[in-house]
Structure 1
Amino acid sequence: MWQGSVDAPPTTRIAMLAPSMQPSERRVAEAIAADADAAIEWTAQEIADTVGVGRATVIRTAQTLGYDGYPQLRVALARERATAAPVQEDSADPTMLGALRGAVDRFAARLAHTVSAVTEETLSAFVNELDVSTRLLVAANGLSAPVGADLAMRLTSAGRPAEYVADTLGQQITASQLGAGSACLVVSGSGVNRASIDVITAARASGARVLAITSFPRSPVAEIADTVLVVAPINDSFRDELLYTSRAALMLVTESIVGLLVRTRGESATAAQVATLSVLGHSLTE
């Protein structure tokens, strides 16, 4: 069942929840995402006949996505289509620069929904955990590893010392020694990385709190963590997320979270940033 912000549009909810749906519900959700304009016009029975499932499955799919029923899902789809930015057609420019511009335009069109699943309560709890934890380990693996390394450096530069261990076994060893009062922040776009799940297990066993940033709210990482920020995937499906993985949205959110922590900490964070700038200044040459 959807537990994110009520403002999250239907297609964003589908992208995040479809991987964990029952096969029949996933078929309904994917059919809706593939042709939202048609889905607005269909009744529950019509979409059931189109997909080859029972009407009850269509209703359950709508409820899984956080709506009372299919009529409410249709209204939400209509609202999303009415407020969506015009879809840019593929550029007629056959050059590499044309392809690059097209990719950036498609990314920008989806960017507005990046934090549509985040609530004020969850975000406040997340930043507070970063602020008060006595020790912080940032763990990330696979394609999320660069995001984790960057986040740990930014947090440290803002006066919130954070540990980052690149080796997966080293992550687990460090997590197992955290203890109560500490926190482990795991960044996992897919939410199914085995090494990251092992780190969470070790951290929880030590008594530490677990924070997570992922794109799929019903993934193992999201379900095990204490506080989760769900960053909507830029791609339309879990399959696309695996094939054409982008961590740009995660990077944007992690950078913004550091900014929120700096605002929360006030003068102490500002002083740390000044000290960081001083170090950077001495490292530069003409």
Structure 2
Amino acid sequence: MTWAGSSDAPPSARVAALAPSMQPSERRVAEAIAADIESAIDRSAQEVAEIVGVGRATVIRTAQTLGYDGYPQLRVALARELASGPMPVDESVDGSMLGALRAEVEAFSARLPQTVTALTDPQLEDFVESLDGATRVLVAANGLSAPLGLDLVLRLTAAGRPAEYLPDALGQEIAARQLGAGSVCVVISGSGVNRATLSVMTAARESGARVLAVTSFARSAVAESADVALVIPPVRGSFREELEHASRAALMLVTESLVGLVVARRGEQGRDARSATLSVLGHSLDE
């Protein structure tokens, strides 16, 4: 399986999304390139092979897995990414907690634009159309992605698109088995390999429902099992760092924005629903 996302996605985003499921030798090549883009631009395929400790053919296969014709085309894409990327962030701190916090936030914001580079218009249109037109919507999310599931349901309901979320994984699976044709199961999974979430997906598909996924890795079990998968590469850039830091900030940003697309698609109906929601909120506030 090679890169199937947007052709505009930069190499680093492609590596972040594909590396966890690459062959070990290709993964080493991809991560070595992503770790030092500037040097990779100046190196030949043979030089990269010698540094990583693989054959030249492996370097070429890696470039093709990332969606390029060969390593020369990958080098051009790397140069383009380097030229169009944000200015390097000064991560030096003054030793204070505030300085460390500022450095982390600035580094995060500099990498944030890559989160939507893997998406395409047809994917988004299919996702939003299926979500809007479903007779029933069940959201499945477990572990560290669970709060995103609840947040998405609350936002969809406020937008006039009723949805349901059960905090218990077994409850999600039971509900998924009862969805049926015309329904949709929206799966949110950062890692894309959560066992409980995969069980919910299987139950939903067996019921005849359509499965939509939001995940971080293009070749994960969740992405490959979904009817439509929106891949949001991890901001930190690698599966190891995803496991260590487990940030869901980029996924939450995208899921919140998806609700805005649903509201826009629903037109006056969506605006009326939001107006009703604001009215309820207004009555709930006190001085």
Runs of 4+ more than 2 Å apart: none
SS in 1 for 2:286: coil
Asked if 1:199 is matched to 2:200, the reply is: yes
Partner of 1:20: 21
1:142-181 paired onto structure 2 within 5 Å: 142-181=143-182
State the Cα deviation string for residues 77-104 of structure 1 (Å, max 9, x = none).
0110111111112233211111111111
SS in 2 for 1:229: strand
State the Cα deviation string for residues 38-85 of structure 1 (Å, max 9, x = none).
110110111111111111000000000000000000000011011111
State the Cα deviation string for residues 173-195 of structure 1 (Å, max 9, x = none).
00000000000000001100011
Partner of 1:279: 280
Post-superposition shift, 1:246?
Answer: 0.9
Higher mean Cα deviation, 144-153 or 276-285?
276-285
Counterpart residue type for residue 66 of structure 1: G
Post-superposition shift, 1:36?
Answer: 0.9
Partner of 1:253: 254
State the Cα deviation string for residues 99-128 of structure 1 (Å, max 9, x = none).
111111011111111100000000000000
Partner of 2:8: 7
1:108-257 paired onto structure 2 within 5 Å: 108-257=109-258
Post-superposition shift, 1:15?
Answer: 0.9
SS in 1 for 2:101: helix
Higher mean Cα deviation, 269-278 or 212-221?
269-278
8 Å contact from structure 2 (residues 17, 233) kept in 1: yes
Partner of 2:78: 77
SS in 1 for 2:269: helix
TM-score by length of 2: 0.98
Counterpart residue type for residue 128 of structure 2: V
SS in 1 for 2:229: strand
8 Å contact from structure 2 (residues 118, 233) kept in 1: yes
**Aligned residue pairs: how many?**
286
Higher mean Cα deviation, 85-94 or 35-44?
85-94
SS in 1 for 2:14: helix
Post-superposition shift, 1:34?
Answer: 1.4
Post-superposition shift, 1:241?
Answer: 0.4
SS in 1 for 2:140: strand
Alpha-carbon distance in structure 2 between the residues aligned to 1:228 and 1:18: 17
Percent identity for Structure 1 against Structure 2: 68
Asked if 1:263 is matched to 2:264, the reply is: yes
Alpha-carbon distance in structure 2 between the residues aligned to 1:275 and 1:30: 49
SS in 1 for 2:175: helix
Post-superposition shift, 1:33?
Answer: 1.1
8 Å contact from structure 2 (residues 18, 217) kept in 1: yes
Alpha-carbon distance in structure 1 between the residues aligned to 2:16 and 2:181: 35
Alpha-carbon distance in structure 2 between the residues aligned to 1:30 and 1:248: 23
Counterpart residue type for residue 216 of structure 2: S
Alpha-carbon distance in structure 2 between the residues aligned to 1:232 and 1:49: 28
Alpha-carbon distance in structure 2 between the residues aligned to 1:138 and 1:93: 44
SS in 2 for 1:66: coil
Post-superposition shift, 1:282?
Answer: 1.5
Asked if 1:68 is matched to 2:69, the reply is: yes
Alpha-carbon distance in structure 2 between the residues aligned to 1:213 and 1:41: 36
Partner of 2:88: 87
